[in-house]
Each structure stands twice: as C-alpha cells, then as structure tokens.
Structure 1
Amino acid sequence: MSRPQDPHRSFFPFGNPFRKISPKGSHMSPQLVAILNSFEATLAERLRKLIPKNKDEILSLSWMTLAMELLCETHNDIKTLITDLDLPLSNWDEKWIDMYLDISVKLLDICIAFSSELSRLNQGHLLLQCALHNLSSASPKQFVRACSSLDGWRQHINSRNPRIEKCGTILDNLVGSLNLPKVKNSAKGKVLMQAMYGVKVKTVFLCSVFAAAFSGSAKKLLYMDVADTYSWAQPFKSLQNVVNEEIRVTYSNGRFTVLTELETVDALVKILYPTIQGDQDSVETEPLRKTVEETGRAAERLSRGLDQLAKGVDDFFQVVLAGRDALLYNLRKGATVSVRISGSNIAEQIVD
C-alpha cells in the first residue's frame, strides 16, 4: 500500500458543527427527501450492526473487520448518492472539493498507519512459532531458546508504533472537518452535505477506536455529540457509548491491549514463560503440552484475524483512493480547478 489527555474530548473549533442542515433557502423535492432518507436509514442500520451484543465482542478482530467492511459500504453509498443526485461537478462548490480532497488524504495516512501496525503485530507470530516449536522438545537447551523467543515476543508486542502515535493529530484535524460548509440555494447541495456529515462522523469515530486499540491508550478516543435530529443519531450514540466505555475501563484496569485475541495469547504466554524458566526436571510434561497446544491455536486465531483485518483496511484504502481518483479525473476532464489544501494551492493530477 502506498499513499499518494483526556479520553472525553469534545471539539467545537468553528462553533457547534453538530447541527442539522436547515432547508431554508431551497426546496427539497420529494425525490431528494427520499434519496436522503434512504441513505440515512442505511447508515443507521449499519451502525446498529456494529453495536456488540455482549462486551466480549468489543474489539475482537472479527468486530474490527466487520467495522471496516461496513465503513467501505458507507463510503460506496455516498458515491451512489452523488450519482443519484445527478449533481454535475461544475456545480460543486470549490470548498466542497477542498474538503473532500483534504479528508481523503488524511484517511489514506490513517490507513497506512493501521496497516503498518497490523503488519508489526503479525511479525510477532514468527517468534511465537519458534518458541512453540522449541517447546515440542524435552531438551533443556530448547527450553532456553523458547524462553528467548517468548521474551522477544513480549518485548515486540509491548513496543509502540510511531505511526500510530501520529494518528491523534490527524484525527483532531478530521474532527475540525466535521463543520459543514454553508450551502446556499442548492437543495441537492444540502442533501450531499448532510449525507457526507454522517459518513464523516462514522469514519472519524471508527478510526479513533482503531487508533485507541493500537496505541494502548484511551487518549485517542473521541466523544462526538450528534444532534438528535439526525435519524441515525441514536444508534451512533449507543455504539459510541458502549465501545468507548469498554475501552476506557479496560485500559484503566491496567491491561496493555483491548484486542481480545492478542490478550488471549498474552495470557497463555504468561503461563508458559515462568513454567519453562525454572528447573526443567520439575516441569510436568502433560500440562505443558496442553498449554503449548492451546497457545498454538490462539496464536493461529490471532494471525488469521490480523490478516483479515489487514485486508479490510486495504479495501478501505482502495475505496478512498478510488473516490479521490474519480474526482480528480473529472476535474481534469472538465476544467482546470485550483484547490486549496492545508493553506496552499496545489495542482492535482492523475497519471493514466
């Protein structure tokens, strides 16, 4: 993949950004209302699918993979909505284009950070495999090697990824982008901005959850106050409350990770490590064998989960990149447009 302290944080950098777009100044036809209602109903349903039935599901790799899948679907929905609106690119306000391009490049940065962390976590699987292989032998010499591998795994897993540490700044910037651009006398524009607001809230929230999970800290969690006037507000708030609270409680209890599969492996390693460090003659063979087998199964589940989640993150990267490329292609086809990103004008080009 290549690209081009307080957990209860609330951001209002430009006044209150969490307001419903007023329909004053333009008339929404029944067709536009139906398009918007359908989009928001689907968004609400996808948010409900992510509300865990029990706490054990929160921050499992399968839950995180589902979150990425549903996030991809929501971003595809916004592309469908734009098509349904039949809003020519020439009618797009320049600030909408600025906002989209700026947000997309930040999301690509976050995807790259997440992918690097998933790859780093999966690298530890090799150390576990080496340790478990050595433990299949009764040789004291092999036990010493297994201890070294397990020690290396623990140090590797407890280290921090500098790319993840930078996600907090990116997320803060994305929160600022939640402020909705003003739309004058354009019913279609109002529909587009309201739909994009829902996409942005869901995206920023899930990215903050992933960043908190990978960073080992609840400081990157975001608490967003969405107005009840949005039809998807209630499922979003329910999801945000249950997930954020569980992450916060988990870290406050001193656990180094909220990833359930990783925690399972770590708990088994903590059993193995002291067992093979002592007098080798006193090690009971059968209990050790069972623990080694259980650790092997847990390690395989962790590795498979990391691989599946990495694919989900890559799929999201491709969805964001494809949307960005499509917009830039249409800009090039239509007319030369100067876009302002991060305070400086740049020429955006696509190479066929």
Structure 2
Amino acid sequence: MSLPQDPPRSFFPFGNPFRMISPKSSKLSPQLLAVLHAFEETLEERLKKLIPKSKDEVSMSWMTLAMQALCESHNDIKTLMSDLELPVTDWDEKWIDVYLDISVKLLDICNAFSSELSRLNQGQLLLQCTLHHLGSSSSDRLFRACSSLDGWRQRMSSKNPRIEKCGSILDNLIESSDKKVKKSAKGTVLMQAIYGVKVLTVFVCSVFATAFSGSTKNLTDMDVADVYTWAPSFKGLQNLVNEEIRIRFSSGKFTVLNELEAVDLSVRELYPIIRGNIHTIEKESHAKTVEELGKATKNFSQGLDLLAKEVDGFFQVVLSGRDALLANLRSVTLCNDHILGGKSDAQVVN
C-alpha cells in the first residue's frame, strides 16, 4: 500500500478555535472551583495514563485504552452536570446547540470507526480460512488458502470511504468549538470542562482516523493554553503519539498498529511460499511461518474485539447523553405548555 506523505496539521486555516478559553477562576465561588479542579485533576490523571512508556506501545491496545478514557471523560461530564445542579432550564440556548452539534458529529465518527473495524474483522476471517486450509497439504486446500490470502491483501490495499470522510467531520467538530455562549458561573465551569474533554476527543479521534486510513492527513496538532492544569500532560501525550505515528509512516510502514503489522509481515513471508507451491507444500519446513501467522492473527482478532467493544461503548455514551438532554428539553416544553394552557383555561373560565 502506497502512503502519501501529508504535511502536519499544526495550525487551522481559519484560525485556531482551540485558542485559550479564559477560565476566569476569580469569578467562581470556592465550591465551584472545587468541582472544576476535581474534574480537571481527573482529566489530567487520565491523560498521564495514556502517555506510552515506550513508542512501541502505540498500538490497538493503546487505542482501546484511549477509547476507554473517552467514555470515562464523557461520563464525567454527565456527573458534573448533576454536581452543578444545572437543570436544562438554566442552559443557554447556544450551550444546547453546541452539545447537540458535537454529539451528532461524534456519532458519525463512531459509525465510521465501527465500519472500519467490521471491515478489518472480515479480513481476519480470511486469515482464519487461510490457516484452516493450511492444515491440509492437498492442492485444492492450498489453492483455497492462496485465494484467502489474495482476498486479505486486496482488502488491506483498499480504502474505506467512511474513514476518508473523517477528516472533514473532525474539522467541523473543531469549528464547533468557536461558538460564543453566555456564561454564568456554573456555565463557565461546564464549558471549561467540555472544552477539556473535547480536546481529548479530537486528539483520540484524529489518531483513530489516521491509523485506519494509513495516512497522516487526519492527524491534528492542537495548541492548548498553559493556563489549564492538564495542558502539559496533554501536550506530552500528543507530541509523543503524533511523532511516533509520523515516524512510522515516513519509514514506509503501511500501518501504525503493531498487531496489524505482525499479521502483514507473516502474510508477506507466507504468500510467495504458497503461490510457488500451489500443488504441494512441505508443512514441516514452513510450520514456523504458519505458526507465526496463527499467533499474529489471534492477537489481531483479540485486539479487534476489544477495540470494537470500546467504540460501541463510546457510541452508547454519546447517544445516551444526547437522548437525556432531548428528553429533558421535551419535558420542559411540555411543562411550559401545560402551564400556559392552564393560564389560558383560567382566563376563559373567568
């Protein structure tokens, strides 16, 4: 698979919507400051845990941990809303617009990631078929094994159009951060917390889109102001992960996923052997290569299952938060309509 080398997206062509959002902490009460600091301390610890101890840790396992961190952080937003005792009736209308706008884009991204994981899973089924057919030395079974590997190679060289669209979705998600909203004291806490989670979300999603597309065009470098306590941890995480991804692609690798690379190496070694011995193959002399493919396929399959589970979990977290907000909005509307209806009836009676 040929890899286009794309320039890093260090700055945004329409200005950086992730520019500093002043916390204005001096205007917050001690109670609200405590709530905000607790939220940001948790976010900072989560970011620190995602910093790989070595560059080799940038893998499907890391992506699974990153998606878990997203689920936890978005759940923390729900908890924060409860702690702030900020009912929907107190929300600025633009807060609602921002929240719903972000959520629908995240659902689109989750669907794109799920489609790619499904595509990769179909590919690993071809690998399973290959291993099954290699259990026999008959020419017919070897032909089927070769056919399965052909299918795998074609699948890996193809593009997923839904992943190709993730770049524009991420750009729109970033732009949604640029909306001006009125902030009460509680609103300031809420929007600052959402900002932190949004930064983590864009970073993780950009890494996913890059890993799945095989191109750095979706990789985003965000400039976060140092006024946030979690900013140094985020910058360290972003710099290490993004740098390693760029190094791997620039060295000619077709993927940044260790598990997928191990499969690819085994396939590259085994494929010419099978094609050259389509009628017969010496199982003993090539048993080690087949065994390595089996181990790599198993690790790849397990990684896919875990990652797909976390992506689905994140989809459900975003969807449930969106549904809860819409349900609250409907209940408020119905309540207001009931009150207005009651007043109207009272006027008629009089």
TM-score in same-fold range (> 0.5): yes
Aligned residue number for residue 40 of structure 2: 40
Structure 1 runs not aligned, ≥5 long = 338-352
- 8 Å Cα contact 2:18-2:223 kept in structure 1: no
Aligned pair in 2 of structure 1 residues 152, 280: CA closer, same or farther (>3 Å)?
A: closer
Question: What are the residue-to-residue correspondences of 1:1-352 with 2, within 5 Å?
Answer: 5-11=6-12, 13=14, 17-23=18-24, 27-58=27-58, 60-179=59-178, 181-184=180-183, 186-279=184-277, 284-335=282-333
One-letter amino acid of the structure 2 residue matched with residue 274 of structure 1: P
User: Deviations along 1:55-86, whole A, 9 cap, x unmatched?
Assistant: 1110x211111111111000011111111111
How far did residue 283 of structure 1 move? 5.1
How far did residue 258 of structure 1 move? 1.0
CA-atom RMSD, angstroms? Answer: 1.9
1:177 alignment partner, SS class: helix
How far did residue 143 of structure 1 move? 2.1
1:149 alignment partner, SS class: helix
- 8 Å Cα contact 1:48-1:239 kept in structure 2: yes
How far did residue 88 of structure 1 move? 2.2
One-letter amino acid of the structure 1 residue matched with residue 21 of structure 2: K
Aligned pair in 2 of structure 1 residues 136, 96: CA closer, same or farther (>3 Å)?
A: same
Farther-moved stretch of structure 1 (327-336 vs 43-52): 327-336
One-letter amino acid of the structure 2 residue matched with residue 54 of structure 1: S
One-letter amino acid of the structure 1 residue matched with residue 10 of structure 2: R
Moved over 6 A (4+): none
Counterpart CA distance in 1 for 2:192 and 2:12 is 19
User: Deviations along 1:21-48, whole A, 9 cap, x unmatched?
Assistant: 2528x83110000000000000000001
Aligned positions, number: 330
User: Deviations along 1:187-245, whole A, 9 cap, x unmatched?
Assistant: 11111111110011000110000000000101100000000110000110011001111
How far did residue 250 of structure 1 move? 1.0
Farther-moved stretch of structure 1 (262-271 vs 129-138): 129-138
Counterpart CA distance in 2 for 1:22 and 1:273 is 58
Structure 2 runs not aligned, ≥5 long = 1-5, 336-350
User: Deviations along 1:238-281, whole A, 9 cap, x unmatched?
Assistant: 11001111111111122111111111001001111111222469
Counterpart CA distance in 2 for 1:317 and 1:235 is 26
How far did residue 282 of structure 1 move? 8.7
User: Deviations along 1:143-176, whole A, 9 cap, x unmatched?
Assistant: 2222121111111122110000011100001111
One-letter amino acid of the structure 2 residue matched with residue 162 of structure 1: P
Greater helix percent: which structure? 2
Counterpart CA distance in 1 for 2:110 and 2:32 is 33
1:11 alignment partner, SS class: coil
